Amino acid sequence: DSGVTQTPKHLITATGQRVTLRCSPRSGDLSVYWYQQSLDQGLQFLIQYYNGEERAKGNILERFSAQQFPDLHSELNLSSLELGDSALYFCASSGTTSLDAGELFFGEGSRLTVL
């Protein structure tokens, strides 16, 4: 158990819809990262937040947005969903903005299926 909690674990929705994925980082971790893993792809970095502020942005579509709340949990909002958005979405946390010992702690992921 990494200590990172993601909900929901599974989500099935239709094209054009909007969903919100939620992540609670490990207790005390200030940084939250979102990654997308599509079929046969590695983990694609989407966005990082540190203590409520956006710190780094990767290949995140304009239809996607994220935020980190004062209690440090984070939400990833996906809108105008397309079939290609079907993927595993992972949240990870760490103690600071840097990698420290190199360890990001990953949640179990939220599997999104767009029909």
CB 110 within 8 A of CB 89: yes
Choice between 50 and 64, CB closer to other proteins = 50
- Integer Cα distance of 51 and 29 in angstroms: 9
Binding mask 73-112 for other proteins (x = CB under 8 A): -----------------x-x-x--xxx-xxxxxxxxx---
By CB under 8 A, residue 25 contacts other proteins: no
Least distance in angstroms from the C-beta of 42 to other proteins: 4
Least distance in angstroms from the C-beta of 107 to other proteins: 5
CB 53 within 8 A of CB 66: no
- Beta strands 43-50 and 31-37, pairing class: antiparallel
Task: Order across the sheet with 5-7: list the strands.
Answer: 5-7, 19-24, 74-78, 64-68
Residues 20, 44, 79, 86: which binds other proteins (CB under 8 A)?
44
Residues of this chain that interact with other proteins (CB under 8 A) are 2, 4, 31, 33, 35, 40-45, 48, 50, 55-56, 58, 90, 92, 94, 97-99, 101-109
